Amino acid sequence: MSETKWPYMYPEGEDSSESNLRNGKRASDDVELKDDPRRSKAPKLMGVSIHGNDSIDAANEQSDYDNDPLINDIGRDNSISCLIRCSRSDYGSIASVNRSFRSLVKSGDIYRLRRQNRIVEHWVYFSCQLLEWVAFNPVERRWMNLPTMPSGVTFMCADKESLAVGTDLLVLGKDDDASHVIYRYSLLTNSWSSGVRMNSPRCLFGSASLGEVAIFAGGCDYLGKTSDSAEMYNSELQTWTTLPKMNKPRKMCSGVFMDGKFYVIGGIGGSDSKVLTCGEEFDLETRKWTEVPEMSPPRSREMPASAEAPPLVAVVNNQLYAADHADMEVRKYDKESKKWFTLGRLPERADSVNGWGLAFRACGERLIVIGGPKNSGGGFIELNSWTPSSSDRSPPLWTLLDRKHSSNFVYNCAVMGC
């Protein structure tokens, strides 16, 4: 399988040798690929000025870039209207045209304009090897390798958590001094750097992102105490803001955004480390937490709470779904009755260890499952997707997007939408 390197700062890859699966019996749902954001209607540009911040561009040249028509025949506004509809895969070539194009792309302004015009392209980022990350474009079915993460021995070998927000991928863990650290991958520079520490560093938290902001709730502090605190991260400013405390402290929980609100779901809480079946809703406008009874997906098998992975949940089109790793089923949450019901089966090759090693994520209008069989010889991983309908209870019809030679245990996974 050919894998794309990252010339300049964005990929210009070729389809992998195993990408062309449409003629196979497991990849026949070509309709699913029609959600390409480049097919959307022409966006209406907001009144936003483009200002590059590349340090190598002299400040006195910036005004010239702002007035550059970019594509002479159609003018600056029409040029930007076209460029924000291009795939992220094309931005390396676009940035190499001249300094004005490069400033537009590398400054991140082009992604801010995409977000304001609701043009979002989702890529999946995951790690099946220590310090190594790959990205997958599900529309074009192309793989890209990220640079190897910098790391000490402790961070490399310890458990890590990840989240994509804006054009950043955050990977959180502990360093050689046993303190909490964050490494930040920037899509704009295709490089890793040290991220800004939380106000209250933690692990085993629930988190989710919405545009350029993300919320991290609960978890354990450096002493192992279960936390009821929460923080918001702004990827544009790289700042942390402390939020009001939750009603219950919890760890090993999950987080999602749904209907514009943040939800923390399940986990373990209390002095007896009891499994929590409730969730909590955070309203970003009122800045209040509200407990939601029985929001955590039911557990089909009894096992020690600390042995099972946090709830495998994802939101597509404001509908909440869960993967039951024990029974290999997909469930959906009915917001009116506040109950879970079973839709159907997970992909057949999506094994896990009590939920660990299996990725279940929302990727635009798709649900993505990344996993592989436990005993696969040399080892491989599969990416399967399904585009659910919010109006019915039809069973999942999984489409195999691609297969990759790899360890079949997914350590970390995140979806970047920008």
The CATH number assigned to the domain holding 243 equals 2.120.10.80
Q: Which of 116, 146, 173 is the last residue of a domain?
A: 116
One domain for residues 295 and 320: yes
Closest CA to 209 of 325, 9, 361: 361
Higher pLDDT, 378 or 51: 378
One domain for residues 223 and 267: yes
The pLDDT tens digits of the residues spanning 259-270 come to 999 999 999 997
Cα distances (Å, whole numbers) of residue 228 to 192, 272, 292, 308, 394:
30, 16, 16, 21, 37
Structural domain includes residue 19 = no
pLDDT at 201 over 70: yes
DSSP string, 129-195: ETTEEEEEETTTTEEEEPPPPP--HHHHHS--EEEEETTEEEEEEE-TTS-EEEEEEETTTTEEEEP
One domain for residues 259 and 194: yes
The Cα–Cα gap between 39 and 376 comes to 39
- The pLDDT score that the predictor gives to residue 6 is 42
Matching residue, tokens 């545009």: 211
One domain for residues 159 and 41: no
**One-letter amino acid for residue 319 of the chain:** Q
One domain for residues 96 and 55: yes
Matching residue, tokens 């790793």: 325
pLDDT at 20 over 70: no
Cα pseudo-dihedral 155, 156, 158, 162, rounded to 10? 80
Most confidently modeled range among 87-96, 119-128, 267-276: 119-128
Structural domain includes residue 107 = yes
One domain for residues 232 and 100: no
The pLDDT tens digits of the residues spanning 277-322 come to 999 999 999 999 999 999 999 886 777 777 889 999 999 999 999 9
Number of domains making up the chain: 2
- The pLDDT score that the predictor gives to residue 64 is 56
One domain for residues 176 and 64: no
One domain for residues 269 and 404: yes
One domain for residues 357 and 241: yes
One domain for residues 101 and 191: no
One domain for residues 288 and 316: yes
Angle, vertex CA 366, rays to CA 290 and CA 203, nearest 5: 50
Tokens of residue 388, six digits: 């659910």
Higher pLDDT, 273 or 326: 326
Q: Which of 73, 95, 116 is the last residue of a domain?
A: 116
Cα distances (Å, whole numbers) of residue 373 to 35, 210, 290, 359, 379:
29, 32, 40, 13, 8
- Cβ 376 vs Cβ 139: under 8 Å: no
Structural domain includes residue 6 = no
pLDDT tier for residue 27 given thresholds of 50, 70 and 90: very low
Structural domain includes residue 382 = yes
The pLDDT tens digits of the residues spanning 355-389 come to 899 999 999 999 999 998 876 555 889 999 999 98
The pLDDT tens digits of the residues spanning 115-170 come to 999 999 999 999 999 999 999 999 999 999 999 999 888 888 889 999 999 999 99
CB-based contacts of 234, cutoff 8 Å, min separation 6: 212, 213, 241
Matching residue, tokens 């955004």: 257
Alpha helices (H) in 290-400, listed in sequence order: none
Q: Which domain holds residue 128?
A: 122-417
- The pLDDT score that the predictor gives to residue 42 is 32
Q: What is the mean pLDDT of the chain?
A: 84
Closest CA to 209 of 267, 241, 264, 166: 166
pLDDT at 57 over 60: no
Structural domain includes residue 354 = yes
CB-based contacts of 412, cutoff 8 Å, min separation 6: 126, 127, 160, 161, 162, 171
One domain for residues 140 and 38: no
The Cα–Cα gap between 177 and 199 comes to 18
- The pLDDT score that the predictor gives to residue 28 is 35
Structural domain includes residue 5 = no
- The pLDDT score that the predictor gives to residue 376 is 54
- Cβ 233 vs Cβ 214: under 8 Å: yes
Which pTM was predicted? 0.84
pLDDT at 90 over 50: yes
**One-letter amino acid for residue 317 of the chain:** N
What 8-state DSSP symbol labels residue 221?
-
Structural domain includes residue 88 = yes
Using CB atoms within 10 Å of the CB of residue 335, give its burial: 0 to 12 exposed, 13 to 18 middle, 19+ buried.
middle
Helices and strands of the chain, counted as H and E runs: 6, 26
Q: Which of 81, 116, 151 is the last residue of a domain?
A: 116
End-to-end CA distance of the chain: 27
Structural domain includes residue 96 = yes
